[in-house]
Amino acid sequence: MSIRNNTPSSIGPARLAVRWLEGDSPVRAEFIVMPLWSQESPHYEVVLGETFPVGDETWRFADVDMKNADEWRVIVRRVDENEVMTPPTGRVWKSARLRPYGHLDEVQLQAVEAELGTRLPPSYRRWLEQTNGAQPEMEHHVPGRPFVLIPERPLCGVHPQHPSRDLVHAQRVHRDPWLSPDWLVIANLGGGLLLLSLRVRDMEREGIYFLPDAGLSGPIGSEGAAGRERHIVPVARSMGHLLGRITPVDVSDLPPAEIVWPGQSGHSGQEAQSPWAVRPETESPWTLQPEGQPRFTETPAAPAPLLPVGQFFGTFYPVVGSPERIHRVRLGSEVWELDNQRFILWALAHGSGAPSAGRPWTVSAVRDAAAGQLPGVDTAPLLDGLTAEGLLVEVAQEKAVEFARRHRVGARLLGLGNSAEEPWLWSIGFFEHPMVKVTRTVYNLWERAPSGESLWALCQALAAEEREADATEPDLTDPERMLTAFLQDIHQLLVASVIYLEPLP
């Protein structure tokens, strides 16, 4: 017999209902027995697998299937002498593990509403009052939705001193360039933006929505907002409903992860034509140079490294059955459509896919790498054109700070922390599958990238924190030296798709 939440079911001599269900260990439920012969309705708190009385009969809480906190059903079976005990096989929902930052009083709520220029919907306002935002203890998701809520990207609150979790800052950086004021960004998730609808028709029901990263294209500002908003999809009907749907990511429930590089068999239906032919020569994650070793010395100026700028938005075939294709790259407010030759060069500028042993990845290196993929093609004018369009930038050491002031870093993948075996290295990748291992400084810069600040601002802020912590090593306390060290490692981060570069708005 299956009993759904909020739905009494008849079992013959009585009706059964389940008042609540807890998915934590041990799984428990409160059963309400409503006998047909009596006005009394006894309640029983039962652990999964145990029994409870129904008149002269005995019934067992046999199994459970929890889709989320609001959608579940329990299985009960009558116990008789021929009962065959079978272990539970259903799903057990795991409640979200969120750490609130505190609470807000009415004065603070009215102040943030004044800054936002809108009255917050009632349910979300109450949640914000009680929590001031919340940080997940681990990765969380809504099953079936393509995003992850991670500790580094929490649910926003009122934190002007910490931009990455501040609600007002999130609107300036993540909403205003892309969306209309009908939406409120409440989290910058791994995979896109979590939105609260401020439309008049939604103010009572307070819909929660999601905009994937792929939808952040087109001209910045109001003229492109309508097109982007067509990519928004509903997630939950309210903040409470959302909190009942998110659950910690359980790696044991996921299929075995396998990193398939573009161009490698199995990556796509067009892998034989993929321009991403350069990839790591080893299956091991890259390791960047540990801190504490000299990063640079007084040597003659090295050739300027070549950096790709822009976010890859995919390959498209405009005509059915035709080999013709275009590659889309977002650069600031515009999306460029590159033909195969230009895209190959832009892709190769990300790096070789193998540690460079201190050798910069320059225009010359890209031309050498392209010789095998574009035989007979004069790549010089193509590279000049990409540079003129801002899709490629040569960054000489004396111009590094200027470049960092005008560009910011976009972060991808998940932060995995360090390990007991190598506590000096920090991993970035997919859950238990690191793509790169980096120093703490590089990890901290990557972690702060979602703030939307320039690369130079990140270096300045991080160096200031190191000085406040009484650090004395120049590579940690001098923002210019920190930037130089980061740029020396940047191609290994770019080619692994851990980061991308984009111009400031």
pLDDT at position 201? 61
Residues 370 and 221 in one domain: no
pLDDT-derived band at 93, boundaries 50, 70, 90:
low
Residues 324 and 195 in one domain: no
pLDDT-derived band at 302, boundaries 50, 70, 90:
low
Residues 437 and 360 in one domain: yes
Q: Is the pLDDT of residue 356 over 60?
A: no
Residues 307 and 441 in one domain: yes
Which single residue is written with the structure tokens 């909403």? 175
Q: Is the pLDDT of residue 73 over 50?
A: yes
pLDDT at position 301? 55
- Residues 97-113 have a mean pLDDT of 92
Burial 488-504 (b: 16+ CB within 10 A, else e): bbbbbbbbbbbbbbeee
CA angle (328 as vertex; 351, 402 as ends), nearest 5: 55
- Residues 331-345 have a mean pLDDT of 83
One-letter amino acid identity for 482?
A: M
Q: Is the pLDDT of residue 257 over 60?
A: no
Q: Is the pLDDT of residue 299 over 80?
A: no
DSSP bridge partners of 4: 73
Which DSSP letter does residue 166 get? B
18-22, 91-95, 110-114, 256-260: which is most confident: 110-114
Residue 267 lies in a domain: no
Last residue of a domain, one of 248, 265, 285: 248
Per-residue model confidence as pLDDT tens digits over 129-143: 999 999 988 888 887
CB 104 within 8 A of CB 36: no
pLDDT at position 272? 34
Q: Which carries the bigger pLDDT value, residue 355 or residue 241?
A: 241
Q: Is the pLDDT of residue 155 over 70?
A: yes
Give the β-pairing of 140-141 and 134-136.
unpaired
Residues 344 and 208 in one domain: no
Domain range spanning residue 70?
2-78
Tokens at residue 374, please? Answer: 């574009």
Which CATH number goes with the domain that contains 156?
Answer: 3.40.1580.10
- Residues 384-392 have a mean pLDDT of 88
pLDDT-derived band at 498, boundaries 50, 70, 90:
confident
Q: Which carries the bigger pLDDT value, residue 424 or residue 207?
A: 207
Q: How many CB atoms lie within 10 A of CB 389?
A: 17
Residue 84 lies in a domain: no
pLDDT at position 200? 65
pLDDT at position 275? 34
CA angle (179 as vertex; 175, 185 as ends), nearest 5: 35
- Residues 285-312 have a mean pLDDT of 60
Q: Which carries the bigger pLDDT value, residue 413 or residue 403?
A: 403
- Residues 448-462 have a mean pLDDT of 83
Percent of the chain with pLDDT over 90: 9
pLDDT at position 70? 65
Residue 266 lies in a domain: no
pLDDT at position 157? 92
pLDDT at position 18? 83
Per-residue model confidence as pLDDT tens digits over 54-68: 888 888 888 877 766
Residues 65 and 169 in one domain: no
Residue 310 lies in a domain: yes
Count H helices and E strands in the chain, helices first: 13, 27
Mean pLDDT of all residues belonging to the chain: 77
Residues 374 and 474 in one domain: yes
Q: Is the pLDDT of residue 192 over 70?
A: yes
Residues 115 and 43 in one domain: no
- Residues 76-80 have a mean pLDDT of 82
pLDDT-derived band at 291, boundaries 50, 70, 90:
very low
Q: Is the pLDDT of residue 125 over 60?
A: yes
pLDDT-derived band at 408, boundaries 50, 70, 90:
confident
Residues 125 and 193 in one domain: yes
Residue 45 lies in a domain: yes
Q: Is the pLDDT of residue 202 over 70?
A: no
Residues 333 and 401 in one domain: yes
Residue 90 lies in a domain: no
Per-residue model confidence as pLDDT tens digits over 233-255: 888 888 888 888 888 876 554 44
Out of 88-97, 262-271, 366-375, 464-473, pick the least confident.
262-271
Residues 326 and 407 in one domain: yes
Q: Is the pLDDT of residue 124 over 60?
A: yes
pLDDT at position 321? 66
Last residue of a domain, one of 213, 248, 283: 248
Residues 175 and 232 in one domain: yes
Q: Is the pLDDT of residue 412 over 60?
A: yes
Residue 417 lies in a domain: yes
Residue 89 lies in a domain: no
Last residue of a domain, one of 213, 233, 248: 248
pLDDT at position 276? 33
Percent of the chain with pLDDT over 70: 81
CB-based contacts of 28, cutoff 8 Å, min separation 6? 21, 22, 45, 46, 47, 48
pLDDT at position 262? 43
Tokens at residue 447, please? Answer: 């972690």
pLDDT at position 112? 92
Q: Is the pLDDT of residue 13 over 70?
A: yes
Number of domains the chain contains? 3
Give the β-pairing of 433-438 and 286-287.
parallel
> Nearest CA to 181 among 142, 229, 137?
229
Out of 12-26, 32-46, 116-130, pick the least confident.
12-26
